[in-house]
């Protein structure tokens, strides 16, 4: 742990990341054909053609997943791997529409509290188990467990009835406009029989789903290998024979692996690496992919555990800390301008976004004034944590923020920790009063961010508890009309800006790159991607 003082601020902001290079080589075995002994023509026996070369897609991961199962994975990286193995009843397609997946059809009662799902009858799990309604019921029942990361998405269902082998009824206490989107996010269907055979730990070590790829092996810290599922129900998919995921936390190493043709898809590139790729795109077999990122980076105020009794419980203090940061300087110096300010968790492109609610400006004088009003004219000391080697330049950002706070008398004891430990402590609410993280949404609405972070004590990663805010988030679920729901989001955005549970830092531009032979790779603004339709030319 180390304290960051204001005098070190400019050194932090001007620090550069040096990119490494990885060189690889290869060799091929020469095959020599023998000349026929007889010169007279003879009837030749048919010769078997050599098998076609295996199509292998190599994907770099920015972190080491804690699991590769949708309900327990703690990062977007984990869910990206998981959704190659598992499937839900429904799927949010690239056009933003909820479409059938393991459920071929469904109906909703007039009062919105009863969903009846008709299941596909031609689906098998990777181990040969037949997919039935029993597996849906088991997945829902397991999903409510206290050790399930996204249990709130399963607790949304009050009861479930098995009507027959391929029909289930989902019962709600109240209408929930977000239910199908919640199912899309984390309801990866598990095999009940296989789980009973191997147990929870066995299932996580060797997962079985119904998805386009089946699990082969997981060498922790090295690679995760999947192979195409020959009995996959959706004809024509997947498009490759194997997928090899390689965890490579350092962005410079991911970049080097791409340029050395060791990897086909990389994400989480730093702006300077993106610029290097743009400079050589015409000469190298690589292509840059960039898009505005529906991910908010923030610093959490923890009033549920370690922040109780500290200055962060005061609204004026939280506002002061928001005014004390020069966000534009951070974006310019650390991200070379490739990020945008954000006023809250409802961002441009989200339902209910209101551009009239503007981000906090840099105003250190206002910060000092508010600190004095709150009874802290000389500032105070406080602890903060952040994950290491997880997000592009995020450690630099948190150090810079601590430096700005030091200039208004707030001394920060800043600790970086390995991401797995960080998220374990976050889930158990053992992180310090301040901690930095980010949250993305894949549905065009801020609902997952809001439910997970301020949705109440049942929310897995919540660290701020405000009963009024809990009720407002609940109102999203009870509002099926888009226009009316947009008004709820706008109200939440305004409330969370005036009484901030977070320091809203920025929304980055996402930079990825692919080998030119990769076809039909379409990452979403949440950095979610699905590989069943991705091919190799």
The three-state (H, E, C) secondary structure of 171-229, written as one string: ECCCCCCCHHHHHHHHCCCCCHHHHHHHHHHHHHHCCCCCCCEEEEEEECCCEEEEEEC
pLDDT surpassing 50 at residue 315:
yes
- Where do runs of H (alpha helix) occur along 269-391? 271-280, 315-323, 327-335, 364-373
Compare 5 and 212 and report the one with higher pLDDT: 212
pLDDT surpassing 50 at residue 31:
no
Percent of residues, the chain, with pLDDT higher than 70 = 90
Overall average pLDDT of the 450-478 stretch:
93
d(CA 304, CA 446): 22
Q: Which domains are assigned to the chain? A: 87-193 (3.90.76.10), 294-509 (3.10.105.10)
pLDDT surpassing 50 at residue 14:
no
Residue-wise pLDDT for 49-89, tens only, equals 555 689 999 999 999 999 999 999 988 999 999 999 999 99
pLDDT surpassing 80 at residue 26:
no
Overall average pLDDT of the 512-520 stretch:
96
Write down the mean pLDDT value for the chain: 90
d(CA 474, CA 488): 10
Peptide bond preceding 42 in cis form (omega within 30 of 0):
no
Overall average pLDDT of the 279-285 stretch:
84
Q: Are 346 and 489 in contact (CB under 8 A)?
A: yes
Q: What global pTM score does this model have?
A: 0.81
What pLDDT score was predicted for residue 44?
A: 46
pLDDT surpassing 80 at residue 6:
no
Query: Up-side HSE of residue 157: CA atoms within 13 Å toward CB?
Result: 26
What pLDDT score was predicted for residue 20?
A: 37
pLDDT surpassing 90 at residue 325:
yes
- Start-to-end CA span in the chain (Å): 49
What pLDDT score was predicted for residue 49?
A: 54
What pLDDT score was predicted for residue 51?
A: 59
408-434 burial, b if ≥16 CB within 10 A, otherwise e?
bbbebbbbbbebbebbeebeeeebbbb
pLDDT surpassing 50 at residue 37:
no
What pLDDT score was predicted for residue 48?
A: 52
Q: Are 325 and 406 in contact (CB under 8 A)?
A: no
Which residue pairs from 267-270 have beta carbons closer than 8 angstroms and sit at least 24 positions apart in sequence?
A: 267/60, 267/62, 267/510, 267/511, 267/512, 267/523, 267/527, 268/62, 268/391, 268/392, 268/510, 268/511, 268/512, 269/392, 269/511, 269/512, 269/513, 270/17, 270/392, 270/393, 270/511
What pLDDT score was predicted for residue 50?
A: 55
Overall average pLDDT of the 529-537 stretch:
96
DSSP state for residue 8 in the 8-state scheme: G
Q: Is 9 helix (H, G, I), strand (E, B) or coil?
A: helix
Residue position matching structure tokens 């390689």: 246
Angle between the N-to-C axes of helices 327-335 and 394-406, in degrees from 0 to 180, rounded to the nearest 10? 150
């Amino acid at each position: 742990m180390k304290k960051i003082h204001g005098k070190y601020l400019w050194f932090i902001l001007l620090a550069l990341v040096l990119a490494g290079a990885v060189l690889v080589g290869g060799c091929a075995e020469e095959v020599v054909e023998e000349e026929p002994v007889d010169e007279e023509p003879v009837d030749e026996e048919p010769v078997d053609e050599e098998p076609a070369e295996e199509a292998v897609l190599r994907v770099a991961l920015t972190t080491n997943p804690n699991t590769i199962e949708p309900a327990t994975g703690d990062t977007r990286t984990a869910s990206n791997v998981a959704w190659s193995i598992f499937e839900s009843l429904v799927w949010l397609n690239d056009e933003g529409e909820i479409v059938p997946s393991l459920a071929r059809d469904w109906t909703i009662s007039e009062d919105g509290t009863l969903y009846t799902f008709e299941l596909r009858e031609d689906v098998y799990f990777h181990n040969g188990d037949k997919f039935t309604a029993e597996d849906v019921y088991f997945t829902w029942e397991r999903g409510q467990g206290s050790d399930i990361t996204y249990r709130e998405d399963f607790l949304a269902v009050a009861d479930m009835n098995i009507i027959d082998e391929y029909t289930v009824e989902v019962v709600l206490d109240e209408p929930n406009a977000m239910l199908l989107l919640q199912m899309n996010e984390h309801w990866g269907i598990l095999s009940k029989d296989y789980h009973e055979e191997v147990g929870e730990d066995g299932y996580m070590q060797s997962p079985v789903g119904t998805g386009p790829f089946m699990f082969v092996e997981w060498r922790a810290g090295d690679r995760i290998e999947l192979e195409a599922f020959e009995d996959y129900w959706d004809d024509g998919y997947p498009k490759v024979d194997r997928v090899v995921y390689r965890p490579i936390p350092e962005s410079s190493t991911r970049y080097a692996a791409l340029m050395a043709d060791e990897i086909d898809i990389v994400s989480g590139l730093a702006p300077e690496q993106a610029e290097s790729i743009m400079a050589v795109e015409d000469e190298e077999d690589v292509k840059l992919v960039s898009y505005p990122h529906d991910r908010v980076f923030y610093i959490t105020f923890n009033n549920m555990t370690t922040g109780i009794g500290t200055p962060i419980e005061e609204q004026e203090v939280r506002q002061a800390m928001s005014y004390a940061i020069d966000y534009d300087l951070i974006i310019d110096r650390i991200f070379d301008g490739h990020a945008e300010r954000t006023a809250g968790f409802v961002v441009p492109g989200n339902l209910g976004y209101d551009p009239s609610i503007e981000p906090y400006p840099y105003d250190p004088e206002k910060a000092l004034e508010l600190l004095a009003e709150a009874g802290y004219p000389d500032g105070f000391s406080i602890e903060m944590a952040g994950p290491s080697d997880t997000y592009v330049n995020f450690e630099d950002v948190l150090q810079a923020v601590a430096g700005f706070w030091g200039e208004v008398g707030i001394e920060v004891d800043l600790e970086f920790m390995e991401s797995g430990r960080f998220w374990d402590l976050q889930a158990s609410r053992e992180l310090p009063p301040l901690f930095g993280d980010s949250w993305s949404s894949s549905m065009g609405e801020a609902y997952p961010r809001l439910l997970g972070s301020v949705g109440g004590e049942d929310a897995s990663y919540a660290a701020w508890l405000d009963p009024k805010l809990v009720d407002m988030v609940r109102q999203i679920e009870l509002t099926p009309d888009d226009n009316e729901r947009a008004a709820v989001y706008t109200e939440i955005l305004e409330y969370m800006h005036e009484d901030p549970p977070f320091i809203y830092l920025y929304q980055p531009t996402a930079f990825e790159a692919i080998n030119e032979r990769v076809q039909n790779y379409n990452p979403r603004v949440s950095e979610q991607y699905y590989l069943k339709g991705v091919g190799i030319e």
